[in-house]
Every structure is written in structure tokens, then in C-alpha cells.
Amino acid sequence: MPEINQQRVVEILNQILESELAGVVRYTHYSFLVFGFGRIPIVAWLREQADESLLHAQQAGEWITTLGAYPSLEIGPLLDSHTFDIGSILRESLESEKLALEHYRTLLREVEGRSIALEEYARQMIHVEELHAGEVDKMLRRPGAVSTLPDPGPAKDLL
């Protein structure tokens, strides 16, 4: 089995760590901004996502130190569209989740055939993140509709 490119793998793992940490901040931030009848279950769901992102960040960080490298203390990009409507919050989350998913796919390509453990980790994360993206996509559909709603464009400024 050929060796992994340690430096490249750590670089990708750090990107994963940073984007998952951004997820913790993003979901926590959004959880403060949900108002109306649906508030309680939606806030609970957003906080669950924050916890899951933290777990994913911890897993990436553990891999980095397993490989004998230093984990990044940076955090991935955060958008603040200042929109309070759930549709915009979910669409913004979906975009960021797709970015994280891309990092896991890059990791898989990098370690495929070189490290079974890292390959398993990347595949498992792709599985989890794809299910998550699918779930968010379904939340963006109108009840009774099977296909995804088109993005209505930037929401009106509510501030």
C-alpha cells in the first residue's frame, strides 16, 4: 500500500476542522434568531447541528494529532446575511455543508488505497454529511411537493 502524503492530508483535515468549527458558530448563531410558532423544534434542531459539527471538528482534530501535526485554531468563513427567515438560514447552511462535504471528498481522493482507516473515516463522513444535506433539502420543500423549492433570491432585509 503506498504511503499517504502526510502534509497534504493534514492540510485537508485542517480545512475540515475549520469548516466544522464554523458550523458550530453558525448553527449556534442561527439558533438565537428563530421566532414564531415553530421556534422550539427548530432551535432544538439547530443546536443539535451545532453539537454534531463540534463532534465532527473533534474527530478531524484527533486525526490531525494522530498524524503528529498541529491542529489549526482558525475558523472557516462565516456568512452573515442578517436574515431571520428559516428558508434563508437553511439555504445558507446547505451551502456551507456542501463545502464541508467537498473537503471530505477531497480527503477520500487523497487517502484512497493508501490508508484504510482514513478512507473509512472519509467515507463515513461523506455518508453522514450527504444524509444531512438531504434532510435540509427536504426541509426546504413545500409540504406535498417532492422536488426542491427554487431559491427565491435574496430575502428582504428584515433589520
> Which residues make up the interface to Fe ion (CB under 5 A)?
56
C-alpha 114/C-alpha 123 separation (Å) is 14
Q: Whose Cβ is closer to Fe ion: residue 126's or residue 155's?
A: 126
CB atoms within 10 A of CB 61: 18
Smallest distance, Fe ion to C-beta of residue 75, A: 14
Q: What minimum distance in Å lies between the beta carbon of 99 and Fe ion?
A: 10
Pick the closer one to Fe ion by CB: 4 or 100: 100
Q: Give every CB contact of residue 72 below 8 A, 6+ residues apart in sequence.
A: 14, 17, 18, 64
C-beta closer to Fe ion: residue 18 or 110:
18
Give the shortest CB-159-to-Fe ion separation in angstroms.
29
- CA atoms of 13 and 63, how far apart (whole Å): 8
The minimum distance between CB 155 and Fe ion, in angstroms, equals: 25
* CA-to-CA separations, 123 to 17, 71, 84, 120, in angstroms, rounded: 16, 21, 34, 5
d(CA 17, CA 33): 25
Give 26 or 56: the residue with its C-beta nearer to Fe ion. 56
